[in-house]
Amino acid sequence: MSATPRFRRVLLKVSGETLAGAKPFGLCPETLKAIAREIKAARALEVEIGVVVGGGNIFRGLAAQAMGLDRAVADYMGMLATVINALALQNALEREGIPTRVMSAIAMHEVAEPYIRRRALRHLEKGRVVIFAAGTGSPYFTTDTAGALRAAEIGAEAIFKGTKVDGIYDRDPLTDPGAVFLPRLTYFEVLEKSLRVMDSTAVTMAMEHNLPIVVFKLLTPGNMVNVLLGQGICTIVENVP
């Protein structure tokens, strides 16, 4: 196998639930450290990395809406939760010696830079990991959509979706031992089968910009590097299966 990574700039999407580790909510220090080390190893390949984090481990907008909160208010609260996660991941990365910037779609100058596309590109070119927080800055959009949007804006060559499983299955492998692993799919297959890799808006945006979606198990040590080198287990979603 080649020691040259398949992609030189990627957008890593990390869910809030992943940051919680084995906990039902909150942040897991060991999980943050493990993710930071995966990013550090990938960065050693001279891959430029942007990260979009979710906030479901702290606050989930749709669940709050079911409790009676206005959808827009709930979504803004969820965006603020992603900023907390971004700062936690930044701290973990900096403890590993990785220069990092948090850029927020909602202005909060004391804790994060405002998201400015050209500034983000400059950070990436200088070898910094850029964590994009607060989603798109607008309600009614998920952090999956924010991930696809930021990937397109920064000229990423792929979206890396870090999950708790090896890739995409036809059913949930955590609850169904008979679930079948699907190594390659088209965007249309993901949409038609409602495989819930990312929301439909994010998948459609990736398709329009010809951005492969690489789904892999993030917390297996060395797995992000292996996937970048074409050696790891993952599912690739692209135009041609």
What's residue 177's pLDDT?
A: 86
Q: Angle CA(56)–CA(60)–CA(66) in degrees, nearest 5?
A: 155
The Cα–Cα gap between 230 and 234 comes to 9
- What does each C-alpha distance from 53 to 16, 45, 57, 209 come to in angstroms? 6, 22, 11, 21
Residue 66 has pLDDT above 80, yes or no: no
CA distance 74 to 76: 5
Q: Summarize pLDDT for 71-96 with one digit per residue, the tens.
A: 898 899 999 999 999 999 999 999 99
The average pLDDT across 128-157 equals 97
In order of start, what are the domains of the chain with their CATH numbers? 9-238 (3.40.1160.10)
Give the pLDDT confidence of 25-54 residue by residue, as tens digits. Answer: 899 999 999 999 999 999 999 999 999 999
Whole-model pTM: value is 0.94
CA atoms within 13 Å, Cβ hemisphere of 173: 13
CB 161 within 8 Å of CB 197: yes
Q: Give the CB-side neighbour count of residue 65, counting CA atoms within 13 A.
A: 13
Question: Which residue would you say has higher pLDDT here, 227 or 175?
Answer: 227
End-to-end Cα distance, the chain: 21
